[in-house]
Amino acid sequence: MTLPPILSCWAVSAPGAEALTAAELQALGVVPGVREPGGVAFEASAEQLADALLWLRTAVRVTVRLGSFSARTFAELERHAKGIAWAAIIPKGGAVHFRVTSKKSKLYHEDGIAERLERAVLAAVPDVRAVRAPSAAEELEDDVTKLPPVMRIVVRVHRDEVTLSADAAGGLLHRRGWRRDVAKAPMRETLAATLLLASGWTPEEPLLDPLCGSGTIIIEAALMARRMAPGRARRFAAEVWPGLPTGIWKEARQRAASRELPVAAVALLGTDRDAGAIESSQRNAERAGVADDVEFVRATLSQLPHDDGTGWVVTNPPYGARLGERNALRDLYASLGQMIVDRRPGWHLAMIGADRMLEGHLGIPLREVLRTTNGGLPVHVVVTA
């Protein structure tokens, strides 16, 4: 059983990043459709789906619509479920997990919905097994450099309308496959990409992260500067979908490899006062394939050298809700601002912020360019005004 030549897809984005995700799709030659809070709809061929999974930097997940129908009883649900092309998504001998949410519907029992859908799959695909949470989540979020062992189906029931979508990625897309060493309070790779793309920084300009932690911002910047696909080091659930041509994945990776530049053309520097953070950053850069394009140095803000040129300071400083009381962070923000004013006077600043009081201690005029969340906490991207 095969999937249709044009797939109805949905790129899940962090709140506020939908426009960036739409622009990324457009750069891939995919015309983005409806843009709503939380994501962007788009139609794609199998080849375009493979490209999207490899290249989207700001998307959290990509799903493919399997079907949509009305159901007010379990009998209706089971009847419609029999018409879904399960064998095109779930391989023989594979496993499936249904992630169900139901709101304002007659079918409100989420476990019951999952059970009926599991029956339909078991009848359609030989030797398949159904996996229930929480063990399913553990298997799905395992090592993303390997093919995921469980196919996730996202089920949304709202006002008796049932929508079934297959998760084409498997593990969340922020998991690039290279970040295994993390510092305290790490930021997700997708948030780092959102910060970089929203800031106005371009890969032709030097970049400094003076609070680099595990190196996420610098490594994401290096991938952009080298034109390297963020998903190059990982595998995707859709690679084992029986309904897609198997050759598209090799071809997509070959296309991606042909676009890569041999070196980054700019200086990309990460510093941190913690020696363990620097060691983690270096190991992560090696796994990402950009160790020769970045530099990580143990240094405090007061130790950074003077630079009369131009460039960008892009960083994710701690804020009170994350690493301690905000009063203890005033000196850090003041030192960061003073470093930029005194030693990088021609440089722009872009950062994730969550506390305008702390941002005021920078002593630098700022403007907001994007609002989003980090670990459920409202944050925003601010840049030099």
**Which of 9-18, 124-133, 134-143 has maximum average pLDDT?**
9-18
Q: What is the mean pLDDT of residues 12-30?
A: 95
| 65 in Cβ contact with 161 (< 8 Å) | no
DSSP label at residue 57: S
Task: Say whether pLDDT at 240 is over 80.
Answer: yes
Q: Measuring CA to CA, which residue among 154, 124, 126, 127 is closest to residue 140?
A: 154
* Alpha carbon separation from 256 to 17, 150, 226, 235 (Å, rounded): 23, 26, 11, 14
pLDDT band of residue 141 (cuts 50, 70, 90) is: low
pLDDT band of residue 375 (cuts 50, 70, 90) is: confident
Prior bond of 134 cis (ω within 30°): yes
Give me the amino acid identity at 52.
Answer: A
Q: What is the pLDDT of residues 50-63, one digit of tens each?
A: 999 999 999 999 99
Q: What is the pLDDT of residues 292-344, one digit of tens each?
A: 999 999 999 999 999 999 999 999 999 865 555 677 799 999 999 999 999 99
Percent of the residues in the chain that have a pLDDT greater than 90, as a whole number:
87
Task: Say whether pLDDT at 190 is over 80.
Answer: yes
Predicted pLDDT at 134: 61
Predicted pLDDT at 135: 64
- Cα–Cα distance measured from residue 259 to residue 264, given in angstroms and rounded to the nearest whole number: 13
Predicted pLDDT at 138: 62
Predicted pLDDT at 42: 97
pLDDT band of residue 179 (cuts 50, 70, 90) is: confident
Predicted pLDDT at 132: 82
Q: What is the pLDDT of residues 90-120, one digit of tens each?
A: 999 999 999 999 999 999 999 999 999 999 9
Predicted pLDDT at 139: 63
- Between helices 189-199 and 18-27, what is the axis angle to 10°? 80
Q: Measuring CA to CA, which residue among 62, 11, 60, 61 is closest to residue 39?
A: 11
pLDDT band of residue 136 (cuts 50, 70, 90) is: low
Q: What is the pLDDT of residues 261-281, one digit of tens each?
A: 999 999 999 999 999 999 999
Predicted pLDDT at 376: 86
Please state which of the ranges 87-91, 109-113, 184-188 shows the lowest mean pLDDT.
Answer: 184-188
Predicted pLDDT at 385: 92
pLDDT band of residue 140 (cuts 50, 70, 90) is: low
The mean pLDDT value of the chain amounts to 93
Contacts of 138 by beta carbon, 8 Å cutoff, 6+ apart: none
Q: What is the pLDDT of residues 206-226, one digit of tens each?
A: 999 999 999 999 999 999 999
pLDDT band of residue 20 (cuts 50, 70, 90) is: very high
